Structure 1
């Protein structure tokens, strides 16, 4: 069992908390795949022709689900496989801030609905670091740990990129990981991705389809990176279930 950090936006954090999201799609990279069974560098990864890569179905390749990709310089073909396995864990990284209530409270009641880290300040005094999460606490009115003014409760949010594992409140256990083309996603898959059912209005009634909502969500995260819906990139579709750490 291995543990992997996944970044989620605020909408998807809320969907996870309501158990409305049981699936996610990620772009294959040198970090989550191997080539011919080996991890490669970011530089090496860019040497392959990903625009013409092909998914090889397990029924064709004797149970070996992979992507076939050509090395642009050597003109050789290679197998790309996903590193994730059933039972591996996801911990969700989200926008957060850490509070040290000892800065302005003498008697501290520690919360029970989130992880708390016991630590020491610069003088060796015991302190407790309490994470707060932007997805569900847009303005917690706390003094962040890295501020000295105990009256300054303006929240300075920290990017999800920097969230430490101990502060993660959401954990999930992977049940399946597979390659597929982005546009092969079904309505069922879109719902599992966390596109809220109540937002779905049938096109014949003047509304938008589930796919429309998913495209907006996907492009808001991936289009600027070159992986927009219209590109129909190969993705890793990951199913997961709730896990209590």
Structure 2
């Protein structure tokens, strides 16, 4: 089992704490685009997992391979059974070592998390999520499944599992149907599309890249 950090903003942290977010997606970084073949999803490991030449057990996992070159990629962000510790914006409490009062302060505990709605007092400053210490993390996740799919193939149920709320904005295209112009209407998928475009840009959604889909469960909070 490996453990690695993962960053989430306030809305997604709240979705994790509420149990509404159980999936996340990242773009697959393909090493080439050989035109004599194509990239396709694949499954690595058998029904009960596979084994390496050294005898190490491999859990079943999703990957992607190229039909011409045979190149096969597995998710670099973790495999089933691996754990993720969540980094989020926070405020630490630091203490000085009583044995060395003139020395540097040492981490004591987290005074507040931004996702909880805490309002900073005078002189306080949020610590960015990418600077969070492992000891300060309050959410630990365990990856339960990994697969590869096209970004736009996300289902309504999976969009909801991404932790986004359902879009409630009424459609404003009076003379055209949603199907005619590709509108997703008042759905979780519409909200997920908006969130993806905010983070990665509209061109990223339109390119419809392959993405790693990691499913997980929360196993520890403090």
State the TM-score, normalized to the length of structure 1: 0.65
- Structure 1 87/77 Cα, relative in aligned 2: closer, same or farther at 3 Å? closer
- Structure 1 128/158 Cα, relative in aligned 2: closer, same or farther at 3 Å? closer
Whether 2:78 is the aligned partner of 1:78: answer: no
Task: Answer 1 or 2: which has greater strand percent.
Answer: 2
- 1:15 is displaced (CA, Å) by 0.5
- Structure 1 120/222 Cα, relative in aligned 2: closer, same or farther at 3 Å? farther
Number of matched pairs: 194
Whether 2:92 is the aligned partner of 1:98: answer: yes
Quote the residue 2:17 is aligned against.
Answer: 17
1:135 is paired with a residue of what secondary structure?
helix
Deviations 1:154-184 (Å, cap 9, x if unpaired)? 3322221111111111111110011111111
Distance of 2:131 and 2:104 partners within structure 1: 25
Whether 2:206 is the aligned partner of 1:230: answer: yes
Deviations 1:131-154 (Å, cap 9, x if unpaired)? 22111134143xxxxxxxxxxx33
Distance of 2:13 and 2:220 partners within structure 1: 16
Quote the residue 2:115 is aligned against.
Answer: 135
Distance of 1:121 and 1:177 partners within structure 2: 48
Distance of 1:176 and 1:95 partners within structure 2: 27
**Where do 4+ consecutive residues of structure 1 move more than 6 Å?**
61-64, 118-121
Distance of 1:243 and 1:168 partners within structure 2: 13
Unaligned runs of 5+ in 2: 48-59, 175-184
- Structure 1 170/220 Cα, relative in aligned 2: closer, same or farther at 3 Å? same
Distance of 1:86 and 1:119 partners within structure 2: 43
- 1:203 is displaced (CA, Å) by 5.8
Quote the residue 1:159 is aligned against.
Answer: 128
Whether 2:220 is the aligned partner of 1:244: answer: yes
- Structure 1 164/119 Cα, relative in aligned 2: closer, same or farther at 3 Å? farther
State the TM-score, normalized to the length of structure 2: 0.71
Cα RMSD after superposing both structures: 3.6
Unaligned runs of 5+ in 1: 30-44, 104-117, 142-152
Deviations 1:186-231 (Å, cap 9, x if unpaired)? 000011000125x557869x9632222111111111228x6x2111
8 A contact 2:160–2:189 mirrored in 1: no
Distance of 1:120 and 1:235 partners within structure 2: 51
Whether 2:185 is the aligned partner of 1:191: answer: no
Distance of 1:68 and 1:92 partners within structure 2: 30
Whether 2:210 is the aligned partner of 1:221: answer: no
Quote the residue 1:32 is aligned against.
Answer: none
